[in-house]
Structure 1
Amino acid sequence: MNENVRFKGEPAFSILTKEKCTGCFGCENSCKFKAIKMTLSQEGFYFPEIDTERCIKCGKCALNCPVLNFKSHNFGENYVKVYASFSRDDKVRFESSSGGIFTEMAQEIIEAGGIVFGAAWEKDLSVKHLQIKDRKGLSKLRSSKYIQSNLEGIYLEVVKAAETEGKKVLFTGTPCQAAALRTFTNSENLLIVDVLCHGVPSKVVFDEYIKYISNNDEVVSYNFRDKANGWSKYGVKAKMGNGKIYKCITRKDPFFHGFICDLYSNLSCYDCKFASIPRVGDVTIGDFWKAPQEIMDERGVSVVIANNHRGEKFLEKLYSKNKIDLHPRKLSEALKGNSRICNGFLNMRKNREEILKTVKKRGFIYIAENYINKTKRYVLDK
C-alpha cells in the first residue's frame, strides 16, 4: 500500500500523507464513481486506496477531505459557552459514559421525527456508524467506542435526510468526522455534535487484546466505560460466549492503559488539527474530568460546549423542557481535566512503530509485558 494518497483533479491537486490522514471517510463518500475504498492498514487504521482505472481526476475527493479543505466557521474562545451538564433521568445517566447528554439530544431529534447517526458495535467488535429512527435503537449508539468507525456512505445519508427529505438530523462523531461531514452540508436541519477525543488506537492491537482476554473465545459484548463502580472509577467489561466475564478497572486494563499512554494511536492523532477552538461541531460533549467539588457526582458529569447559536439554542431547549441540567462554567475549569478541548498534541512514544509491527507476530501479552507495563503514567490519575 502506498504511504501517501494522491488526490488529483481540478480545482484541487493535493498529496495527503499517511501522517495527516484521519481515516474519516470523507473522500470515500465523495466519489460517485466508487474509485475510493477505505481499507485497514497494516497498523490497523483506515486509509484510502484509489482505483486509478475508475478515477476520472475530478478532484471532488480533495474538496471533501477535512485535512485539506476545512475551516471552522464557529465562534472562538470569547464566545463558547461551557457547561457542566447531565441528564435528569437517572437511568439514562447511569447507562451513559458520562452525564447522558447525547441520549437526551438524540431523543429530542427522534421525537421530532428526525434521524440520529452515531457509532455502534458490530458483532465482530468493529465499529460502524448507523442511522437510528426510534428511541429503542439509541442504546446501540450510547457509550464510548474508542475504535475507528466505518462511515461508508454515511455522510451521503445525512445529506439525503437533512436536505432532500427535510428531516431533523443529529450526527455525532469524532472531530475529524464532524469536520468531514461539514464539507458536505451546512443544512439548518443538521446538528453536529463532536466528542472530545483522545485519539483512536490501532484495531490490530485491539483485536489481539480481545483474543488475550477471551482466551480466543467469542466476545458477545464489550464496554469501555462500565460505571458499576461509579463514573470516576469506570472499568472495561467484556462478556464471552461461554458466559465468562472479564472486568477490569480501566487504569489497570493493559489495552486501555497503552492507549491513554499514546503507545499505538493513529499518526494523525498525535497532532490533531481539529482538537482546537473554535471546535468543529455545533456542540461539543465529553467528560468533565476534575470537575469542581460542588458539581462532582459519581453518576456522571458531562462537559458541554455550545460553539455557535445553533448549538446554544438546542441546549437551551432541552433545559427548558427539564431534560438536562446546565451549570455554566469557565473554559479554564474544563481544560484542567481535558486538554484536548483545544490542544491536539500528544507525545508519540518511540516504540510505537515497533509495537505495531510486533503485535500480530508475538501476540498482545508480549506487547503488554514488554511495552505497556513499563509506562509510568496512570490512566485518569486523580
Structure 2
Amino acid sequence: MIDEIIKKEECCGCDACYNICPTDCILMKNDQEGFWYPSVNNVECIECNACVEVCPALKKASIETALDIPEIVAAYSTNEKNRVESTSGGMFIEVATSIINEGGVVFGARYNEQHLVEHYYASTLEGLEALKQSKYLQSKIGESFREVKKYLLEGKKVLFAGTPCHIAGLKNYLNKDYKNLYLIDFLCRGVISPKAYEQFLKSMENKYNSKIKRVWFKNKTYGWHRFSTKIIFENGKEYIEDRYTDVYMRGYLEGPLFLRPSCHECKYKTLPRYSDVSLGDFWGIEKIKKHLDQDKGTSIFMVNSEKGRELLEKISKNLIYEKTSVKDIYLGNSALTISAPLTEKRGEFFKRYLEEDFSDLVTELLKPSLSKRIKKTLRKFRILRFIKKLLKMVYHFLVH
C-alpha cells in the first residue's frame, strides 16, 4: 500500500494513486503543514498494488518521446492583453486558445470560491480566463487524471498544464502515449502549502478588516521585473506590494519558508523533460536580447518533443520570438534543474505559523542576522568613505 511504502519527503501529492485506485480506498489528507498525502483504507484495499506502480517517485515516468536536446525560444504574445494579464509572456494562453479552437479541452489551475487552487478543465475561450496566471500554492488535482483519460478516449485533443511532478504522475497514470495529448509544465521553484497560504489571506483580511474578493500574484502594475502581489478586498481597498516587500513572495523566494518537503530535492527537474513544452519567466533576457524586454513579460518556451514543435508552430504567427539556448535560461531561472534549499527557518515557520500572524512571523524569520546587519552597515560605510574621497579628488582637480 502506497502510504506504507512512499517516504513522506518523496511524495509530491500528485494524486496519481488516488485516481488509479479501483476501489476508491485512497484519500488525500492534509498533514500539520497543510500538504496532501495518501491515506489507504485497509478494509477496502484489495492489495492490487496499482497505487505503487503509478507513483512517479517510485516508478520513473517515460521520456521516450523527448528530444535529446530541447529547443529554446524567448517569446511573448503580440496580444497585449494576454501578455499583460499573464505571468510572463502569455505563452500558455496562446497554446490553450489554439487547442480550444480545435475543439479540445484544457486542464490547468484556477481559484475556487475560497481562493484556494484546484485543477479544472475549460472547453471554451471564456473558460480559459480562470486558468490565466500562476497561482502560488499547490493545486488540488482531484479527479483530473480520470477526466483527462475520458476526453482522450473520446478522441478530443487535451492540453494538460501542471508542475513537472503532475506531468510525471499523469504519464504514469495513463501508461501510454496518446497522440491527442499535449503536456505543459513550468520551471517550478516548488509548491507552497495551501494552509500557509490561507494563513497569509487571514493576515491580510485582519489587516484590511474585509473579506478578500480577488488574489492576483505576479501582477504587473509595477512592471514584470518588479512583479507584485495584488489583493482586492470586498470593502474596496487594495493591497499591492512588489516582490521585494510582499511578505508572501519574500517567504517563497528568500526563505524558502513554506515549500513541500519533496520540492527541496525535486526528482522532476530533469533534462530531458517529461512534458512536451516547458514554460517560465525568461529572467535575464535583457542581458542577451534586450529588444525582447519591455518589462511586460518575456517567456521561456522550451520545446521538449515533436509535439512541442507542433504547438510552437500552431501559435508562431501570434508571437514575437527568437531562438536562444539552455545556458541562457540559467542567467536568471536556475529552477530549470536546481531545487530550492532546505533551511532551518522552514522548520521554525511550521512550528509557529498556525498560532501567530503570518506577516509578523515571516518578517521576523527573514530579518537578517546581527552579523549580516553589521556587514551591511560596514559596506555602506566603506561606500560613503569612497564617495567622500572621490569628491575630494574632484574638488582638488577643479580648484587647481
Are 1:191 and 2:186 counterparts?
Answer: no
Aligned to 2:5, the other structure's residue is in SS state strand
Task: Report if aligned partners of 2:61, 2:171 keep a CA contact under 8 Å in 1.
Answer: no
Structure 1's 301 and 365: CA in aligned 2 closer, same or farther, altered over 3 A? closer
- Report the alpha carbon displacement of residue 366 of structure 1 after superposing the two structures with TM: 3.7
Are 1:348 and 2:338 counterparts?
Answer: no
Pick aligned residue for 1:224 from 207, 217, 220: 217
Are 1:160 and 2:121 counterparts?
Answer: no
Pick aligned residue for 2:269 from 275, 280, 301: 275
- Give the distance between the partners of 1:369 and 1:106, measured in 2 at CA: 38
Task: Report if aligned partners of 1:359, 1:366 keep a CA contact under 8 Å in 2.
Answer: no
Are 1:59 and 2:49 counterparts?
Answer: yes
Partner of 1:331: 326
Partner of 2:168: 179
Pick aligned residue for 1:313 from 267, 288, 310: 310
Are 1:202 and 2:193 counterparts?
Answer: yes
Pick aligned residue for 1:143 from 133, 137, 141: 133
Residue deviations 1:12-54, cap 9 Å, x none?
A: xx71111000011111111121111112211011111111111
Are 1:86 and 2:92 counterparts?
Answer: no
Percent sequence identity over aligned pairs: 33
Task: Report if aligned partners of 1:254, 1:372 keep a CA contact under 8 Å in 2.
Answer: no
Name the amino acid aligned to 1:323: N
Mapping for residues 116-127 of structure 1, pairs under 5 Å: 116-127=106-117
Task: Report if aligned partners of 2:66, 2:305 keep a CA contact under 8 Å in 1.
Answer: no
Mapping for residues 360-371 of structure 1, pairs under 5 Å: 360-371=354-365
- Give the distance between the partners of 2:86 and 2:46, measured in 1 at CA: 45
Residue deviations 1:267-286, cap 9 Å, x none?
A: 00001010121111100001
- Give the distance between the partners of 1:135 and 1:115, measured in 2 at CA: 10
Aligned to 1:150, the other structure's residue is in SS state coil
- Give the distance between the partners of 2:20 and 2:158, measured in 1 at CA: 20
- Give the distance between the partners of 1:226 and 1:105, measured in 2 at CA: 21
Residue deviations 1:77-135, cap 9 Å, x none?
A: 85210110111111111111110000010000000000000000011121000010000
Task: Report if aligned partners of 1:74, 1:279 keep a CA contact under 8 Å in 2.
Answer: no
Aligned to 2:355, the other structure's residue is in SS state helix
Aligned to 1:184, the other structure's residue is in SS state helix
- Report the alpha carbon displacement of residue 346 of structure 1 after superposing the two structures with TM: 2.2
Aligned to 1:273, the other structure's residue is in SS state coil
Task: Report if aligned partners of 1:74, 1:278 keep a CA contact under 8 Å in 2.
Answer: no
- Give the distance between the partners of 1:178 and 1:142, measured in 2 at CA: 19
Structure 1's 294 and 221: CA in aligned 2 closer, same or farther, altered over 3 A? same
Pick aligned residue for 1:170 from 150, 159, 183: 159
- Report the alpha carbon displacement of residue 297 of structure 1 after superposing the two structures with TM: 2.3
Task: Report if aligned partners of 2:349, 2:362 keep a CA contact under 8 Å in 1.
Answer: no
Instruction: Give me the CA root mean square deviation.
Output: 1.7
Are 1:242 and 2:235 counterparts?
Answer: yes
Are 1:296 and 2:290 counterparts?
Answer: no
- Report the alpha carbon displacement of residue 7 of structure 1 after superposing the two structures with TM: 2.2
- Give the distance between the partners of 2:345 and 2:281, measured in 1 at CA: 29
- Which of the pair has more CA radius of gyration? 2
Higher mean alpha-carbon deviation, 175-184 vs 364-373, is at: 364-373
Residue deviations 1:129-187, cap 9 Å, x none?
A: 0010000111100000011111111001001101x200001000000001111112321
TM-score, structure 2 as length reference: 0.87
- Give the distance between the partners of 2:348 and 2:218, measured in 1 at CA: 28
Partner of 2:86: 96
Structure 1's 118 and 47: CA in aligned 2 closer, same or farther, altered over 3 A? same
- Give the distance between the partners of 1:297 and 1:329, measured in 2 at CA: 18
- Give the distance between the partners of 1:119 and 1:286, measured in 2 at CA: 16
Task: Report if aligned partners of 1:66, 1:179 keep a CA contact under 8 Å in 2.
Answer: yes
- Give the distance between the partners of 1:100 and 1:366, measured in 2 at CA: 34
Are 1:252 and 2:245 counterparts?
Answer: yes
Aligned to 2:354, the other structure's residue is in SS state helix
Aligned to 2:215, the other structure's residue is in SS state strand
Task: Report if aligned partners of 2:66, 2:274 keep a CA contact under 8 Å in 1.
Answer: no
Name the amino acid aligned to 1:227: K
- Give the distance between the partners of 1:373 and 1:123, measured in 2 at CA: 34
- Give the distance between the partners of 2:172 and 2:143, measured in 1 at CA: 14
Task: Report if aligned partners of 1:80, 1:308 keep a CA contact under 8 Å in 2.
Answer: yes
Partner of 1:211: 202
Point out where structure 2 has 5 or more consecutive residues left out of the alignment. 373-400
- Give the distance between the partners of 2:2 and 2:363, measured in 1 at CA: 41
Aligned length: 362
Higher share of residues assigned helix: 2
- Give the distance between the partners of 1:124 and 1:18, measured in 2 at CA: 27
Residue deviations 1:203-234, cap 9 Å, x none?
A: 22211111112216311110111112211111
Structure 1's 77 and 108: CA in aligned 2 closer, same or farther, altered over 3 A? closer
- Give the distance between the partners of 2:67 and 2:105, measured in 1 at CA: 30
Task: Report if aligned partners of 1:230, 1:298 keep a CA contact under 8 Å in 2.
Answer: yes
